Structure 1
C-alpha cells in the first residue's frame, strides 16, 4: 500500500497538536494531524462534569484566538473548553484526520519516518508527538489492590458525583484532581481523602495566570518554583469545601483488604468505591521500537527534540518538554519553538533528504 506523504506529521489532535498545527500553518509547511478520537476537543470532552480550568478564559487560550468567556462562569468548564478547541480547529482549517490510531513509528530508511496506523501508513520527514497523557492512567501497585471487592476507578473514568450518592468513597491522591473530585463528592457521598503528604493549597489568589507567570520567570532564571508555594490550586469549589471543613485529608493507608482501606495503626475504613487520582503517564507507546528512552524510562530531550532522534519532537507532556506545556496557555510558546526548529531543519536538509 502506498504511504501518505507529508513534511510534518502531528500525532494527537488535542490542545498541543492544534497549537503545533497553528504554527506549522504559519510556517508554510505541509503537515497532517492524526487524532485517535472520534470528535474534536481533546481530553476535555472526556472529563468530569464539574471540572473547571484554573484560569479565566482570557488566560486559557491557544495562540491566535482568545477563548471566549463562558456566561456565568469565571473559570470555564470542560465542555466549554472542548467546544473552544473544536472551533479553533475549524477556524484555522487544520488538517485533522480522525479517528486514526497510530500504532507504531519506524525508521523509513530514507531519512524519514513511517507511521503505521489502523488506517494506513504515513511517511514524514519530521514528527510531533502530541498524544498527551489521558490514555495512560496510572494506579500504584499497592498491597491488596486486587483483593478489594468494591468499585475502583481512575480520574480518567470519573464523570459525576451523582453516581456515588449515599456511598462511602475513598479518594486517593493529593494533587489538583484529587482535591477537585473529593470536593465534588462531598455533596453526595461520605468521603475520605487519602494523600501521601498533607495537601498544600496555593494561596487563594493564585490561579493559572500566576502559575504561567511563575513558569516564565523560572525559564528566565528568576523567581520561585511553583512547588515552593504549594501543589493545589484553590478553585472556587475546592475553596468552599475546604473552608467548610469538608476537605480534610488523611495520611495514606497501608494496604487494602476486601472491604476497604487499612492504616498502619490498624484503623479500617470500609468503602463502596475508590477513586484513584494518582496521575497519568505520557502516551508514547508508538515510539517504543525506536529505543529513545533513557535509563530512567523517560525520553531525554533538548527542549522538545528527542536527543536520540532529532526528527522527533515531544510536545505538551509537562515541564520536561517545555515549561507549562501541558496547559492551554503554556503550550503555544513551546509549540512555536518546536516548529521553528523543525522548519529550520527541513529547509537546511532540502526536500530530497
Structure 2
C-alpha cells in the first residue's frame, strides 16, 4: 500500500497514523489492540502466546514484530544515584514549554538530540553533549532526498548491516537544524564525565548546576516474552538470519534494525522483510 501524497516530502505524525489505520482496515486479519503479550512458548510444535489478561493464542508460526521503540535505552551514568536534577529520555519529551527558563543538557549526537536541543533553544539555556563532534549529512544531495538515492542505488536493500553499524551517528539536515542551534545559542560540548547532586561534571573538570538532563540515547530491542525460548542470545538480542530465527523453529522477526538492509526498520522496508520471513516460515514444518 503506497503512502499517499507528495513522495518528495516528510509526512507529519497524523498522516502516518491515518496511513496505518487505513492499512489495518484493509487487512483480512483479527487485530487485538491493548493486548500485552507476557510470554510466548513453543509446546509440542505449537506456539502458545499468553496475554497479560489471561487470554491465550496458539499458532504454528510466530512473528515477533514489536520493534524496539518501546524500550528507551538509558546508559549507566556515573553519579546517577546522587543526582538531584531531573533525568529524562527523549521518549518522554513532548514540547519545550515545561523547560522554560531551565538549564538543560541534551545528551546524544543524532537527529533526535539535535532537533530537541533546537526546539528547547528559544526557551532554555541548552547545551548539546556528544562523544564526538556532530556529523552532518546533507538531506538533499544533488537536489534529491538522501532516501531517494538509497532506493535508486540499491543501498536501501543491500546486506550492509554490520558495516553500517560501524559508521558514526550522523544528523540528516537540510540546514535548518544546524542554523537553529547556532541561532538560539545552543553550544556543543564533549560529554560530561559524571553526575553530581547539583548537575554535571564536564570533561575539563568544571562542575555546573543543571535542572534537566535529557538523554537522546536511542532504544534497544527487548523481547521479554521470548525469555527462555532459546531464541535470544545472552544480551537478549534475537538470534536470526534475515529475520528467521536460527535456534527456534517457527519463529520470525520483523522490524529489526538492519535486519536485511538499511530500510528494514522503516515503513518502506518492513513489508519486503515481512514477505521474506513469511515465505520461509511457510516452507518449514
TM-score interval, smaller chain: 0.7 to 0.9
Does structure 1 conserve the Cα–Cα contact (< 8 Å) formed by 2:136 and 2:171?
yes
* Pairing 1:125-140 to 2, within 5 Å after superposition: 125-140=60-75
The structure 2 residue matched to 1:190, chosen from 122, 125, 133, is 125
Match of 1:177 in 2: 112
Match of 2:92 in 1: 157
The structure 2 residue matched to 1:117, chosen from 28, 40, 51, is 51
Does structure 1 conserve the Cα–Cα contact (< 8 Å) formed by 2:156 and 2:262?
no
- Number of aligned residue pairs: give it: 278
Report the Cα distance in structure 2 between the residues aligned to 1:232 and 1:69, rounded to whole angstroms: 23
Tell which deviates more after alignment, 210-219 or 305-314. Answer: 210-219
Deviations 1:80-124 (A, max 9, x none): 212221222123354211111100011122x11111112401111
Does structure 2 conserve the Cα–Cα contact (< 8 Å) formed by 1:215 and 1:226?
no
The structure 1 residue matched to 2:192, chosen from 243, 253, 275, is 253
* Pairing 1:3-152 to 2, within 5 Å after superposition: 64-69=1-6, 74-109=9-44, 111-119=45-53, 120-152=55-87
Report the Cα distance in structure 2 between the residues aligned to 1:256 and 1:289, rounded to whole angstroms: 36
Give TM-score scaled by structure 1 length. 0.71
Per the alignment, do residues 227 and 83 of structure 1 end up closer, same or farther by CA in structure 2, a change over 3 Å counting? farther
Does structure 2 conserve the Cα–Cα contact (< 8 Å) formed by 1:169 and 1:192?
yes
Does structure 1 conserve the Cα–Cα contact (< 8 Å) formed by 2:251 and 2:281?
no
Report the Cα distance in structure 2 between the residues aligned to 1:327 and 1:319, rounded to whole angstroms: 10
Report the Cα distance in structure 2 between the residues aligned to 1:274 and 1:212, rounded to whole angstroms: 37
What is the Cα deviation at residue 323 of structure 1?
Answer: 3.4
Report the Cα distance in structure 2 between the residues aligned to 1:318 and 1:68, rounded to whole angstroms: 26
Match of 1:308 in 2: 247
What is the Cα deviation at residue 315 of structure 1?
Answer: 0.8
Does structure 1 conserve the Cα–Cα contact (< 8 Å) formed by 2:138 and 2:173?
yes
* Pairing 1:294-333 to 2, within 5 Å after superposition: 294-295=233-234, 297-320=236-259, 322-333=261-272
Does structure 2 conserve the Cα–Cα contact (< 8 Å) formed by 1:127 and 1:311?
yes
Does structure 2 conserve the Cα–Cα contact (< 8 Å) formed by 1:116 and 1:122?
yes
SS in structure 1 opposite 2:79?
A: coil
Does structure 1 conserve the Cα–Cα contact (< 8 Å) formed by 2:86 and 2:213?
yes
Give TM-score scaled by structure 2 length. 0.87
Report the Cα distance in structure 1 between the residues aligned to 2:167 and 2:246, rounded to whole angstroms: 30
What is the Cα deviation at residue 230 of structure 1?
Answer: 6.0
Does structure 2 conserve the Cα–Cα contact (< 8 Å) formed by 1:165 and 1:189?
yes
Report the Cα distance in structure 2 between the residues aligned to 1:99 and 1:179, rounded to whole angstroms: 33
Are 1:344 and 2:283 counterparts?
yes
The structure 1 residue matched to 2:158, chosen from 204, 219, 231, is 219
What is the Cα deviation at residue 235 of structure 1?
Answer: 5.2
Per the alignment, do residues 343 and 247 of structure 1 end up closer, same or farther by CA in structure 2, a change over 3 Å counting? farther
The structure 1 residue matched to 2:219, chosen from 280, 293, 304, is 280
SS in structure 1 opposite 2:62?
A: strand
Report the Cα distance in structure 2 between the residues aligned to 1:79 and 1:236, rounded to whole angstroms: 25
Does structure 1 conserve the Cα–Cα contact (< 8 Å) formed by 2:41 and 2:49?
yes
The structure 2 residue matched to 1:262, chosen from 178, 201, 210, is 201
Report the Cα distance in structure 1 between the residues aligned to 2:245 and 2:180, rounded to whole angstroms: 43
Match of 2:149 in 1: 210
Could you list the runs of 5+ residues in structure 2 that have no partner in the other structure?
none
What is the Cα deviation at residue 335 of structure 1?
Answer: 1.3
Could you list the runs of 5+ residues in structure 1 that have no partner in the other structure?
1-63
Per the alignment, do residues 273 and 147 of structure 1 end up closer, same or farther by CA in structure 2, a change over 3 Å counting? same
